[in-house]
C-alpha cells in the first residue's frame, strides 16, 4: 500500500519536541479506508505479444476488445490489464476491475505513466493510487465534501500543549545569546515543530510583524502517512496526496488549501536567498518591518553618502554590486558593506536598486500599477495627490512600509541637492522603472508609461510627509 502503518494514527513518539507533541486527535477514518482499499492484481499475458511497448510489462495483452478484457479480468476486484485499442491502433487502455464493473482509462506515457494529472514511475503504482482514490471517493464522498466545515486549523488548542515549552525555549535562547536576533531565536526554537504549531507559536509572539501573506502551496508527495493540518484528516493516495507551502511548510489537502487564511509564517530555513525573494515572504521570515537589505543599505548611504555627487544616478562597478548581492544572499543581515570593503558608495546604491529590480513583485505591485498610472494622469494637483494616496492604501502592508521608508530616505537625499545635484525629479527618473513595472510585457507600454512612473516617484518624494 501507499502508506505503510509505521506509526500510530496519532503519530509516532520520538525524541524531538515536534514528535513529542501530538494534537488532540488525527481523524483516522480515511486512513482506515485506504487500508481497506483493493490491492492491484496484475493479469499476466501467457504468451509473448508482438510490438509490445518497452515501457509496459507482461500485463500488456496486445490488441483485444473491451469484452475480451472484461473476460480476462474475471470479476476480480483490483485486477487490471493493459490493451491496445482495436479502433485506434497505437492508443493504449488500462482496464481495471472496481465496484463490480470494468473501468477503462486512456493510458499515456511521457517518461512516466498517467491517466490524469498525476505521473507515476510504474503501472503498479498508478493502479494502486487509482484503487485507493476510487475506494475512498466511493465510500466517503459525503464525508470528503464536509471535511472543511469544522477545521482544526483555527483552534488555538492545537498549540496550547506546546506554547509554554516553546516560550521557555525562546527565553533560553535569548539568555544564551543576547546578540542572536529574534528571528534566529524563533527559528532555533521552532525548527522541529510542525508548521501548525509553529504558526500558533509565532502568532502569539509579541515581536512578530503581522503582515498578511498568502501561502505558496505546491503539489507535494508525502512519504509515509500524513494528515492535513487544516481539517486533520488523512491525506490519501500514493503520490501528490496534497499540497505543501514552500515558504512555511504547512501541509494540507488541495481542496482545504482554498480555505486556509492568508497567515503564512515563512520559515527561514526554507528561504534560500535574499535577492529575488518575494518582499512579504522575506520580511516575515526575518521578522522585520522591511527587507533588511533596504535598512542596511540606506543606513550605510545616509552615514557616508548623502553628499555624493550623482547619488543613485552614477553607477558602481557591476562586479562589485554583484558581490554585495552575494554577500546578502550568503550572510543576510551580517553582510559587511562598510567603507572598508566597499569605499565607493555607488556600489551600495547600485545594490539597493538591484534589490528592487529583482523583486518578483515590484514594490508598487502589478495590481496597483494601472491605478497609479491613472492617478498620475490627473491634471489637478490636489485631486492627483488624493488619488495617489488612495492607491497607496491598496498596497500590501510590507510593500507600503518599504515604500514609505524609501521615500523618507530619498527626501533626505533631495535635502542635500546642493552637494549631490539630485532633486526629486532626477530621483524619479532613476527610481520610476525600478519601483514599478507594467504587468504587460510590452516595450511600447513601458516607453509610454515612463514619464508617469517618474512623476509618481517624484510626487511621493516631494509629499512623503502628507502621503504616508
Q: What residues form DSSP beta bridges with 105? A: 94
**Residue 300 backbone dihedrals phi, psi, to 5 degrees:** -70, -40
The secondary structure of 6-30 as a DSSP string is: -S-TT----SSHHHH---S--B-HH
Are the beta carbons of 428 and 389 closer than 8 angstroms? no
Per-residue pLDDT tens digits for 406-436: 999 999 999 999 999 999 999 999 999 999 9
Going by DSSP bridges, is the β-strand pair 242-245/217-220 parallel, antiparallel, or unpaired?
antiparallel
Domain 366-464: give its CATH code: 1.10.555.10
Please tell me the class of the 215-269 domain: alpha beta
Average pLDDT over residues 338-360: 97
Q: How many CB atoms lie within 10 A of CB 141?
A: 9
Residue 201: the pLDDT is: 43
In percent, the amount of the chain with pLDDT more than 90 equals: 68
Give residue-wise pLDDT tens across range 25-50.
678 899 999 999 999 999 999 998 98
Q: What share of the chain is helix, strand, coil (3-state, %, to 5)?
A: 45, 10, 45
Give residue 268's pLDDT: 81
| Dihedral pair phi/psi, residue 233, rounded to 5° | -90, 155
Specify the residue for cell string 548623502: 306
| Res. 3: pLDDT tops 80 | no
Q: Where are the domains of the chain?
A: 32-144, 215-269, 281-356, 366-464
Strands (E) located in 313-468: none
pLDDT tens, residue by residue, 188-224: 333 334 555 444 444 444 444 568 888 999 999 998 8
Is the domain covering 32-144 a CATH 1.10.287.110 domain?
no
pLDDT at 418: 97
SS3 of residue 266 by DSSP? coil
C-alpha cell at 262: 492568508
- Nearest residue to 253 (alpha-carbon basis) of 133, 162, 127: 133
Are 236 and 225 in contact by the 8 Å Cβ rule? The answer is no
Are the CB atoms for 109 and 94 separated by under 8 Å? no
Nearest to 355 by CA among 455, 441, 279, 464: 279
192: which 3 cell numbers? 522541529
Q: What secondary structure letter does DSSP report for 157?
A: H
- 312 φ/ψ angles, rounded to the nearest 5 degrees: 80, -25
131-176, pLDDT tens digit by residue? 999 999 999 999 999 888 878 776 543 333 333 433 443 344 334 3
The answer to whether 379 touches 300, Cβ cutoff 8 Å, is no
User: What is the DSSP annotation of 28-94?
Assistant: -HHHHHHHHSPPPEE---SS--TT--TT--TTEEEE--HHHHHHHHTT-TTEEEEEE-SSSTT-EEE
User: Matching CATH topology for 281-356 and 366-464?
Assistant: yes
Share of the chain above pLDDT 70, in %: 82
Terminal alpha carbon distance of the chain: 59
Protein fold of 281-356: Phosphatidylinositol 3-kinase; Chain A (1.10.555)
Amino acid at each position: 500500500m501507499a502508506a505503510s502503518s509505521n506509526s500510530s494514527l496519532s503519530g509516532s513518539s520520538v525524541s524531538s519536541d515536534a514528535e513529542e507533541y501530538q494534537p488532540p486527535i488525527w481523524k483516522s477514518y480515511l486512513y482506515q479506508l485506504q487500508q481497506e482499499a483493493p490491492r492491484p492484481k496484475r493479469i499476466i499475458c501467457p504468451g509473448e505479444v508482438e510490438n509490445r511497448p518497452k515501457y509496459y510489462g507482461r500485463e500488456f495483452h496486445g490488441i483485444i476488445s473491451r469484452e475480451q478484457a472484461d473476460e480476462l479480468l474475471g470479476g476480480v476486484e483490483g485486477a487490471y490489464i493493459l490493451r491496445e485499442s482495436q479502433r485506434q491502433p497505437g492508443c493504449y487502455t488500462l482496464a481495471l476491475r472496481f465496484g463490480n464493473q470494468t473501468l477503462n482509462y486512456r493510458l499515456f506515457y511521457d517518461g512516466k505513466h498517467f491517466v490524469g494529472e498525476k505521473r507515476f514511475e510504474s503501472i503498479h503504482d498508478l493502479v494502486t493510487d487509482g484503487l485507493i482514490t476510487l475506494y475512498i471517493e466511493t465510500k466517503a464522498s459525503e464525508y470528503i465534501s464536509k471535511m472543511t466545515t469544522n477545521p482544526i486549523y483555527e483552534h488555538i488548542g492545537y498549540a496550547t500543549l506546546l506554547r509554554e515549552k516553546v516560550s521557555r525555549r525562546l527565553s533560553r535562547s535569548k539568555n544564551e545569546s543576547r546578540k542572536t536576533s529574534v528571528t534566529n531565536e524563533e527559528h532555533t526554537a521552532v525548527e522541529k515543530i510542525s508548521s501548525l504549531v509553529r504558526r500558533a507559536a509565532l502568532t502569539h509572539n509579541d515581536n512578530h510583524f503581522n503582515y498578511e501573506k498568502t501561502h505558496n502551496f505546491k503539489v507535494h508527495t508525502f512519504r509515509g502517512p500524513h494528515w492535513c493540518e487544516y481539517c486533520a484528516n488523512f491525506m490519501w493516495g500514493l503520490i501528490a496526496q496534497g499540497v505543501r507551502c514552500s515558504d512555511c511548510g504547512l501541509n494540507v489537502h488541495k481542496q482545504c488549501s482554498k480555505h486556509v487564511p492568508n497567515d503564512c509564517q515563512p520559515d527561514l530555513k526554507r528561504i534560500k536567498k535574499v535577492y529575488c525573494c518575494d518582499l512579504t515572504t522575506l520580511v516575515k521570515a526575518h521578522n522585520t518591518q522591511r527587507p533588511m537589505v533596504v535598512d542596511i543599505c540606506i543606513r550605510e548611504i545616509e552615514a557616508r553618502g548623502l553628499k555624493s555627487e550623482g547619488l543613485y544616478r552614477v553607477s558602481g562597478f557591476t562586479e562589485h554590486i554583484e558581490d554585495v548581492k552575494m554577500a546578502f544572499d550568503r550572510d543576510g543581515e551580517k553582510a559587511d558593506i562598510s567603507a572598508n570593503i566597499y569605499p565607493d558608495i555607488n556600489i551600495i546604491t547600485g545594490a539597493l536598486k538591484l534589490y528592487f529590480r529583482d523583486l518578483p513583485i515590484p514594490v508598487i505591485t502589478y495590481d496597483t500599477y494601472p491605478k497609479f498610472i491613472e492617478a498620475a494622469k490627473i491634471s489637478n494637483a490636489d485631486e492627483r495627490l488624493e488619488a495617489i494616496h488612495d492607491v497607496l492604501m491598496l498596497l500590501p502592508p510590507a510593500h507600503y512600509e518599504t515604500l514609505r521608508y524609501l521615500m523618507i530616505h530619498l527626501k533626505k537625499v533631495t535635502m542635500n541637492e546642493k552637494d549631490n545635484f539630485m532633486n526629486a525629479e532626477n530621483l524619479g527618473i532613476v527610481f520610476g522603472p525600478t519601483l514599478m513595472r507594467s504587468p504587460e510585457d510590452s516595450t511600447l507600454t513601458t516607453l509610454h508609461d515612463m514619464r508617469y512612473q517618474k512623476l509618481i516617484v517624484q510626487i511621493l518624494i516631494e509629499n512623503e510627509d502628507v502621503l504616508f
